[in-house]
Chains A and B, each alone.
Chain A
Amino acid sequence: MATIPLDTAPPKAPTALEWIRKNLFNNWYNSLLTIAGVTLVYFALVSIITWAFTSANWRPITVAPLLYLVGQYPREELWRAGLSLLIISLLLGMSWGVWRNYVRLFAIFLGVLFAVLAVFPLDTPTITVPIRLVMAASAGMVFLGYRLGRIKTILGRYVATLWLVAMILIPLVILPGFSNSSVLPKVPTTVWGGLLITMILSVGGIVLSFPFGVLLALGRRSSLPVVKWFSIIFIEIVRGVPLVTILFMFSIILALFLPTEARIDRVVRALMGIVFFSAAYTAENVRGGLQAIPPGQEEAAKALGLKNFQITSLIVLPQALRLVIPTTVGQFISLFKDTTLVYIVGINDLLGIGNAILNLNPEFVRLQMEVYLFIAVIFWIFSYFMSYASLQLEKALGVGKR
């Protein structure tokens, strides 16, 4: 009978000193690099922190925080934006409760951020007590949602449905209102702005471009030549030109191809451009997934007597879409960042509002660094959490591990 020798015990975890020696000073040039790196990081951090707390002037941000959030949205109708925020906070909290890891970090971050914003001292009269209360309530909603999401009977698909309802309700009913309503008077999109527009364009772009992208990907593999060639030409043309040209096409050129009496809202036109552009890229990602599905799957489904539509929707697509989650999330992140380009066609998104504020007051004219850094941080946070969630999802699904 074989006995296990004692010295095969698992190695001990390295002590801090051992770790430092192994990872930072394992030979002479790594030691030099480490010293150079530490010096670089030290001086960079010191100069950035000194700048941020002494010479930087954050007035352009603290003086008008509402502008960054909602633009010129009428202040007497602001409760509608507040209501939307509360709904989204609740849903975010529920998503955290239901899906745990993917949303946890982001939900906690936003909850804490709302709580901080509720009490953050700002010397501007625009931030009134009700606004601070809404912020506090949003923080509460995130945690209330979490408690709700933990209840066993609440399932992922209910939360997903609620998200879908909210995504239709908020940008189409609550925010724009109706022209002959006294409760929800019409608010034209020309006064929407800031993070509100950025969010509507990116969420709208993601939600709408995905189905189009899947259809185009299926179209490209279709056995019908007309559908196939239309898809190929569409995808290749759109992918061959910059997004600016597409946005420009929708904002200016499109009007020349529509009857003179047809006027499309300019935010909708920008959204159309983004969807148009993103769908082509999504299509190519999805095609990659479709190609990875072994033909045996389809043949087996056929042998079982499934119809073409059933084969695609029940056998091929579910497997293909799961494979392309990482690339699709990457595509969504770049879509989110690309929404800044609508500034070029004159829409006041976050970047446009930043520029408007810089021109607002002569004393802000040289404070571009502060404003753009602030905007950069906002984008960074959202993009980072998206890629974080994608990484978690990738791990959970074991993509690339089989």
Chain B
Amino acid sequence: MLRAEQPSRKIPIWRDERALKVVAQVISSLAILGLLYWLIDNFLVITQQRGMPLTYGFLKEAAGFPIKESFIPYDSTMSFGRAVLVGLINTLVVSAGGILFATLLGFIIGLMRLSSNWLISRIALAYIEFHRNIPLLVLLFLWYFGIFTKLPGVQQSITIPEILYINQRGFYLIWPRLVEGGMIFLAFSLTGVILAVIAWVVLRHIREVRGKETYFGRVSLAILVLVPLMGWFISGSHPVQLDVPILQGYNFQGGLRLTTEFTALLIGLAMYTSAFIAEVIRSGIQAVNKGQIEAAKAVGLNSTQVLMLIIIPQAMRVIIPPLISQYLNLTKNSSLALAIGYQELFAIGKVTINQAGRAIPVFILIMATYLIISLITSLILNIYNKRVQFIER
């Protein structure tokens, strides 16, 4: 009896989960491939009609358009590839500057937000709410068109004599430049920093292992000061010269010149992102369990030690991941520079598309560059996350 019933109990193929999965796989891959095939087929027809080959040979051709500011030598006779590189460097420079200022400002605002002083906390809240609820593009327009294009002319510059001159053409800033022999000083300074870091790590490790005070903080600080000082004297006491901007005729000569476009973008990005960073910092510090602080105090740590050894290391665990994603956002948001005329990667990519007439290759290049930046960032983040994970028991 039982044996006779067995075959009918077998699951029919249309209800067998394994079979259904295979079918679903096949259907979904067919759908995706079909869509891709349709798009590419259309694309090939159109490119044949218009004659736009999918090659990157044009990158070697002369670009033929000027770029207003560049951190590497560039003129319009150089190649498209060079122009795109200029754009990438412009993106990286404004992002690095933005990240630096946004972090500083974000820390300050975040700490202000946690202040026991009601007024200071409210000022920080107002700053955060102002920036978080307004589109970045509008903020950039406010800075650039609302303020920077209305700066006075060169002759009426807003001035801190010998240090800073602000006018319509940009910001002219006093800037240290290396003179002959300056490289020695630079080399000594770098060595000093490296030695100081090594001393810090090694001595601190020794203290942790042996439990003996090794004064790692003071020793590495001494190295940090003394080694560059040696370099200063060896290089003849004048390794750097301060380059002061001077008004000559209708323009400033010397100093560091930042264009109004660059400065507006830098300020706008930094202030916008700092509001988000402030919230990250606040939530990170608040995430540290109160019991931790009380326990640390009970063990007899003083308030600096509580801050440095208990609060900051634990808060950092919470702060770093969203902080890095804010950095990434800032880098991607720098593409809004297009609207205020700072020529970074995306803006130059757009000009290149018009000049070279190769929409797809240029577009793929731009997307790939941004993707690589993102992937590197998330790689760093993943490594960090693995290292600081709580080891749960």
CB-CB under 8 A from B145, the residues of chain A are 368-369, 372
Q: Are B150 and A366 in contact (CB under 8 A)?
A: yes
Determine how close the nearest CB of chain A comes to the CB of B366; give it in whole angstroms. Answer: 6
B120 within 8 A of A: yes
Residues 380-392 of chain A: 1 if any B CB is under 8 Å from the residue's CB, otherwise 0?
Answer: 1001100100000
Which of B117, B137, B359, B371 is the one whose CB lies under 8 Å from A341? Answer: B137
Segment from B5-13, B20-28, B81-89, B249-257 that makes contact with A: B20-28
Q: Are B134 and A38 in contact (CB under 8 A)?
A: no
Q: Are A249 and B363 in contact (CB under 8 A)?
A: yes
Residues 100-128 of chain B: 1 if any A CB is under 8 Å from the residue's CB, otherwise 0?
Answer: 00000000000000011111100100000
For chain B, the bracket of interface size reads: 35 or more
Q: Are B25 and A226 in contact (CB under 8 A)?
A: yes
Residues 325-360 of chain A: 1 if any B CB is under 8 Å from the residue's CB, otherwise 0?
Answer: 000000001000111110110000001000000000
Between A41, A333, A376, the greatest number of chain B beta carbons within 10 A of the residue's beta carbon is seen for A376
Determine how close the nearest CB of chain A comes to the CB of B98; give it in whole angstroms. Answer: 14
Q: Are A257 and B338 in contact (CB under 8 A)?
A: no
Q: Are B116 and A372 in contact (CB under 8 A)?
A: no
Q: Are A383 and B333 in contact (CB under 8 A)?
A: no
Q: Are A224 and B134 in contact (CB under 8 A)?
A: no
Q: Are A343 and B116 in contact (CB under 8 A)?
A: no
Instruction: Tell me the bound Cα distance from A368 to B153 in angstroms.
Output: 18
CB-CB under 8 A from B42, the residues of chain A are 256-259
Contact A224-B117, Cβ < 8 Å, known A376-B134, A380-B134: no
Which of A230, A244, A375 is the one whose CB lies under 8 Å from B335? Answer: A244
B142 within 8 A of A: yes
B155 within 8 A of A: no
Q: Are B139 and A376 in contact (CB under 8 A)?
A: yes
Q: Are B118 and A242 in contact (CB under 8 A)?
A: no
Contact A344-B332, Cβ < 8 Å, known A256-B360, A257-B42, A376-B138: no
Question: Which B residues from 34 to 57 make CB contacts under 8 A with A?
Answer: 39-40, 42-43, 45-47, 49
Q: Are A245 and B338 in contact (CB under 8 A)?
A: no
A237 within 8 A of B: yes
Instruction: Tell me the bound Cα distance from A260 to B45 in angstroms.
Output: 9
B132 within 8 A of A: yes
Q: Are B138 and A340 in contact (CB under 8 A)?
A: yes
Determine how close the nearest CB of chain A comes to the CB of B22; give it in whole angstroms. Answer: 9
Q: Are B366 and A344 in contact (CB under 8 A)?
A: no
Between B47, B146, B149, B346, the greatest number of chain A beta carbons within 10 A of the residue's beta carbon is seen for B146
Instruction: Tell me the bound Cα distance from A17 to B139 in angstroms.
Output: 39
Q: Are B367 and A245 in contact (CB under 8 A)?
A: yes
Instruction: Tell me the bound Cα distance from A225 to B29 in angstroms.
Output: 10
Residues 163-178 of chain A: 1 if any B CB is under 8 Å from the residue's CB, otherwise 0?
Answer: 0000000000000000
Among residues of B, the one whose C-beta sits closest to the C-beta of A244 is: B335
Q: Are A379 and B363 in contact (CB under 8 A)?
A: no
Q: Are B146 and A225 in contact (CB under 8 A)?
A: no
B61 within 8 A of A: no
Q: Are A369 and B146 in contact (CB under 8 A)?
A: yes
B133 within 8 A of A: yes
Which of A30, A41, A383, A387 is the one whose CB lies under 8 Å from B117? Answer: A30
CB-CB under 8 A from A252, the residues of chain B are 359
CB-CB under 8 A from A258, the residues of chain B are 39, 42
A253 within 8 A of B: yes
Among residues of B, the one whose C-beta sits closest to the C-beta of A339 is: B135
B141 within 8 A of A: yes
Interface residues of chain A: helix, strand, loop or mixed (majority): helix
CB-CB under 8 A from A341, the residues of chain B are 137, 336
CB-CB under 8 A from B375, the residues of chain A are 240
Instruction: Tell me the bound Cα distance from A339 to B335 in angstroms.
Output: 15
Which of A240, A242, A380 is the one whose CB lies under 8 Å from B346? Answer: A242
Instruction: Tell me the bound Cα distance from A372 to B142 in angstroms.
Output: 6
For chain A, the bracket of interface size reads: 35 or more
Which of B118, B133, B141 is the one whose CB lies under 8 Å from A372? Answer: B141
Contact A351-B141, Cβ < 8 Å, known A37-B119, A379-B133: yes
Q: Are B129 and A384 in contact (CB under 8 A)?
A: yes
Among residues of A, the one whose C-beta sits closest to the C-beta of B339 is: A344
Instruction: Tell me the bound Cα distance from A205 to B359 in angstroms.
Output: 26
Q: Are A260 and B46 in contact (CB under 8 A)?
A: yes
Instruction: Tell me the bound Cα distance from A366 to B363 in angstroms.
Output: 35
Q: Are B133 and A384 in contact (CB under 8 A)?
A: yes
Residues 21-46 of chain A: 1 if any B CB is under 8 Å from the residue's CB, otherwise 0?
Answer: 00110100010011001101100000
Residues 230-254 of chain A: 1 if any B CB is under 8 Å from the residue's CB, otherwise 0?
Answer: 1000000101111111001100110
Q: Are A226 and B117 in contact (CB under 8 A)?
A: no
A223 within 8 A of B: yes
A264 within 8 A of B: no
Q: Are B116 and A23 in contact (CB under 8 A)?
A: yes
CB-CB under 8 A from B150, the residues of chain A are 366, 369
Q: Are B133 and A256 in contact (CB under 8 A)?
A: no
CB-CB under 8 A from B374, the residues of chain A are 239-241
A373 within 8 A of B: yes
A49 within 8 A of B: no
Q: Are A387 and B133 in contact (CB under 8 A)?
A: yes
Q: Are A340 and B135 in contact (CB under 8 A)?
A: yes
B230 within 8 A of A: no
Determine how close the nearest CB of chain B comes to the CB of A171; give it in whole angstroms. Answer: 21
CB-CB under 8 A from B363, the residues of chain A are 245, 248-249, 253
Question: Which B residues from 141 to 173 make CB contacts under 8 A with A?
Answer: 141-142, 145-147, 149-150
Determine how close the nearest CB of chain B comes to the CB of A79; give it in whole angstroms. Answer: 31
Instruction: Tell me the bound Cα distance from A351 to B370 in angstroms.
Output: 26
Determine how close the nearest CB of chain B comes to the CB of A17; give it in whole angstroms. Answer: 14
Determine how close the nearest CB of chain A comes to the CB of B62; give it in whole angstroms. Answer: 24
A119 within 8 A of B: no
Residues 321-341 of chain B: 1 if any A CB is under 8 Å from the residue's CB, otherwise 0?
Answer: 000000000001101101100
Instruction: Tell me the bound Cα distance from A241 to B149 in angstroms.
Output: 30
Q: Are B132 and A224 in contact (CB under 8 A)?
A: no
A227 within 8 A of B: yes
B32 within 8 A of A: yes
Determine how close the nearest CB of chain B comes to the CB of A110; give it in whole angstroms. Answer: 17
Among residues of B, the one whose C-beta sits closest to the C-beta of A227 is: B28
Q: Which residues of A contact B (CB under 8 A)?
A: 23-24, 26, 30, 33-34, 37-38, 40-41, 223-227, 230, 237, 239-245, 248-249, 252-253, 256-260, 333, 337-341, 343-344, 351, 366, 368-369, 372-373, 375-376, 379-380, 383-384, 387
Other 13 A-B pairs with CB < 8 A, given A37-B120, A237-B371, A248-B363: A23-B117, A24-B119, A30-B115, A34-B117, A224-B25, A241-B367, A241-B371, A257-B46, A260-B49, A338-B135, A351-B141, A369-B147, A379-B133
Some 18 contacts from A to B, beta carbons below 8 A apart, are A26-B117, A33-B115, A224-B21, A226-B28, A240-B374, A245-B335, A253-B360, A256-B43, A256-B359, A257-B39, A260-B49, A340-B135, A372-B145, A376-B139, A376-B142, A379-B133, A380-B133, A384-B133
